[in-house]
Amino acid sequence: MQDYVYVDSRTTLQPLLEQYRQSELLVLDTEFVRTRTYYARLGLIQAYDGKTLALIDPVAIDDLSGFWQLLTAPNITKVLHSCSEDLEVFAHDGGIQPAPLLDSQIAAGLAGNGHGLGYAKLVQQYLGVALDKGESRTDWIRRPLTMSQLSYAANDVLYLYQLFPELKQTLEQQGRYQWALEESARMTKGRLTPPVREQAYLKVKNAFQLSSTELAVLRQLAAWRLDKAMKKDLALGFVMKDHALIALAKKQPRTINDIMRLKDLTDQEKRFYAKDMVNLINKVDFSSLPDPVDVLALKPAYKNAFKTLKGRLEQIATDTAVPMELLGSKRHINEYLGWYWNDKSGDTPLLLQGWRGQLVADALAKLPV
Given the residues 4, 20, 29, 269, the one annotated as active site: 29
Q: Are 45 and 92 in contact, with CB atoms under 8 Å apart? A: no
Q: Are 147 and 1 in contact, with CB atoms under 8 Å apart? A: no
Q: Answer yes or no: 285 catalytic.
A: no
Show Cβ contacts of residue 188 under 8 Å, excluding neighbours closer than 6 positions: 87, 97, 98, 99, 101
DSSP annotation of 223 reads: H
Q: Answer yes or no: 156 catalytic.
A: yes
How far apart (Å, rounded) are the C-alpha atoms in residues 189 and 2?
35
Given the residues 4, 20, 31, 336, the one annotated as active site: 31
Q: Is 335 exposed, middle or buried (0-12, 13-18, 19+ CB in 10 A)?
A: buried
How far apart (Å, rounded) are the C-alpha atoms in residues 193 and 97?
11
- In terms of phi and psi (left: phi > 0; alpha: psi -120 to 50; beta: otherwise), the region of 175 is left
Element (H, E) at 24: none
Given the residues 49, 57, 86, 93, the one annotated as active site: 86
Does a cis peptide bond (omega within 30 degrees of 0) precede residue 253? no
Helix, strand or coil for residue 348?
coil
Q: Answer yes or no: 29 catalytic.
A: yes
Given the residues 4, 38, 152, 177, the one annotated as active site: 152
Q: Answer yes or no: 132 catalytic.
A: no
Given the residues 49, 93, 156, 269, the one annotated as active site: 156
How far apart (Å, rounded) are the C-alpha atoms in residues 25 and 203?
37
For the annotated catalytic residues, the residue numbers are: 29, 31, 86, 152, 156
